[in-house]
Structure 1
Amino acid sequence: MVALTLAGVLMTAPSAGEEALTYAVEGDAIMQPLTGERGDPERGAALLSDRHRSLCTLCHSGPFPDPHLHGTLAPDLTGVGERLSEGQIRLRVVDMGRLVPNTIMPSYYRVAYEEGQRVSAAWRGKPILTGADIEDIVAYLVTLKG
């Protein structure tokens, strides 16, 4: 039973099989989609609200379901699509540490593993989210205009 549960967790791990692709940072933005195409805002909304995969609502609040579960450690994302460009949002999700070195926000697409860190073998060298996941989240966040 434990083996089946573990297998299920590994199969649903967001990016256990994907290596991070290269991307170009221009100023405070990543202008081009990580996957070569724009994401789907509906999938992005669902993923952003999934506290077990994206973790976004652990720290952020916004116009998402279950407001009683929203965090207050990070900025409210209401209107983020008005304040930031698509490329700026993309860089913040990919690697906020490039802009704010001491941020508590994880770098969702930057692989940060050094020898001696306690990281599961399934996750070593892998990003937290896939490029497609990030593009879906970006596509949703740019719709938040008010």
Structure 2
Amino acid sequence: MSALRQAVIGEHVATIEPPDLLVLSFRGVIRASHVADYAAMRTELLSDQRYLLTLADLRRVEDVEPACRRSIAAIRDDRAQATAFVGGSFRFRVVAELIANAARIFAHRKLAFRFFPEEAPARAWLAEMRRTFRGV
């Protein structure tokens, strides 16, 4: 993938940074319909990748609809995934950990995630995960 691609999902912006990074900038409320739109976009734009790397900026999130948990858990994707969350309230972190653990157990996903206060260390961790997934 050579060109930067961008999509708007509700109030949120999804940007693909070549070669393999999906950057999600969330604003306001995350709704279940946004999760469905995100999953469709990810399937369309990232279907050729062996693994998924995501940087999720949560610093402007106001709330997450409870229905999002079910929508996220329902996403089926067997590829290895690493998500770096930047910011986010304590409540959001607890919910994210519950969702990720459920996805690991019930959907048998290879899923790694971490929370970071700033973007630079999040990107460094994702670069490390890229090397791990590529087997370097």
Provide TM-score, normalisation by structure 1.
0.26
Q: Point out the structure with the larger strand share.
A: 2
The higher relative CO (CA closer than 8 Å, separation ≥ 6) is in: 1
Which structure has the greater CA radius of gyration? 1
